[in-house]
Amino acid sequence: MQQELSQQERRLFIELPEMRAVLTLALPTVISQVISVVYNLADTFFIGRTNDPDMVAATALCMPFMLFITGMANLFGIGGSSLIARCLGVRDFIKARRTSAFAVWGGVFTILLFSLLLFFSEKPVMLLLGATESTIDYCDSYLFWVCVIGGLPTIMNPLLAHLVRSEGAAKEASFGMSMGAILNLCLDPLFMFVILPLGHEVAGAAMATMLSNLAATSYFVIYIMRRRKSSVLSLNPRDLYFKDHIPGDVLSIGLPSFLMTMLASVSNAVINNLISSASSTAVAGMGIAKKINMLSFRVSTGITQGALPLIAYNHSAGDLKRMKKAIMSAAGIAVGFAAVCMTVALLFGDVFVKFFIDDAETIEYGGRFIKIVCLAMPLASFSMTAVMLFQATAKKAQATLLSVLRKGILDIPLMFILNGVLPIYGVAYATPIAEVISFVTAVILTVVFFKRLFAQSKLSASAETARTPKL
């Protein structure tokens, strides 16, 4: 088992300039996130080739379940990654290994329970979330292959990537996730238009997703097993340890990401439910708009997830100056890219929607939706960076507050209010309004955090000086 920092860990966490360290960790993660976005867009593109709004709407209706599984992966993966990096900062390699085992097996148990519950309650839940007679069968087949049969690889792919990234192995984590997404791109048309008969395109897309997640998970398992003697990462259930505050630390630090993703799932379900009364084309238009908006969100996610171990390590090691420079670098990159995405979406939103489906009504809905929701892109990027900062530094209350503020406390009530004022499109305006309030809150919390942190550091330095005997 690892007893000292590896050369890669020392170089990334201690030696490289802050901006370069952030880019080294974040770029591979961003690339894998972008490839994942391309896969999601391609999935919608291939299904859109049927020109069947019901099929496109079904994939949008299933999104809350996919987000929920992603949330569970973040609960154990990001919580475990933060604690592992902080353990490395104080050279506690045994606790880091135990943390890894808890995160892995906690994810396994949770997804098996979720898949079992979904198997017995799938159709009633889908009807509650806005599915209709014309979309329910498509929803049923997609969820069966991705979330029931394929539930375990669906969660373990991102979860293991988080843990691999905690040791600074961003390239390896990126390769695994990218490999799965690229494989999915290849399998989608094969299953949708060659292997399965006409009318089963949604099931074909689901099977392709399940198999690609299985391949990516297998890669991560092999990678961790091959490095088990030189790494703190462990898949061995014998390393499970429920003491030393490991379960509480992992779950409480991962909770904000879980809540953010889970409430995003609830938010999407509310959106679909509110606009489904109009038509399936409105749901399809919103689904396409959300997937286009996903590019900015995923890049911000890649930057924050990539930089998290660097922030956590330096905070734990006491190098506050390096930590502050790293977080400022991450925020600048994330917000800058999001601003570019917002500008492009405002100018070419209709063109992007038309690329996915040649249906005039769906294009009309989708074009207007994307131009509304894109206004929140830069604000959301800053808020996500602030959440990452608080997760990396174990500030659970601040991270949780920002997470539930962005998705849940603000946007869901606003959807109901604005839908009454401006039917259908009012639902979309809830997103930028909620992000403005979240952004202001994030700025205040971040400024207060750094002021207190550096004030405490000065007090500690003064106390240490006072204790040092004069010669």
Give pLDDT tens digits for 115-145.
999 998 878 888 776 777 888 888 888 899 9
Could you read off the pLDDT of 23-60 as tens digits, one per residue? 888 888 888 777 777 766 677 778 877 777 888 788 87
Instruction: Please report which residue ranges of 357-410 form alpha helices under DSSP H.
Output: 360-373, 377-392, 396-404
Residue range 211-227: average pLDDT? Answer: 94
CA dihedral (310, 311, 313, 319) positive or negative = positive
pLDDT of residue 41: 67
**pLDDT on residue 73:** 92
Residues of the chain with pLDDT > 90, as a percent, come to 40
What is the CA angle 187-63-386, rounded to 5? 110
Which pLDDT belongs to residue 3? 59
Q: Calculate helix-pair angle for 396-404, 377-392, nearest 10 degrees.
A: 160
What mean pLDDT is predicted for residues 305-317? 90
Tell me how far apart the alpha carbons of residues 33 and 407 are, in angstroms, rounded to a whole number: 21
User: Residue 471: its pLDDT value, please?
Assistant: 45
* Distances in whole angstroms, Cα of residue 465 to Cα of each of 56, 452, 458, 462, 468: 66, 20, 10, 5, 5
pLDDT for the residue numbered 76: 96
Give residue 468's pLDDT: 54
So what's the pLDDT on residue 417?
A: 92
Instruction: Give the count of beta carbons closer than 10 Å to the beta carbon of residue 341.
Output: 21
Instruction: Report the chain's mean pLDDT, rounded to a whole number.
Output: 86
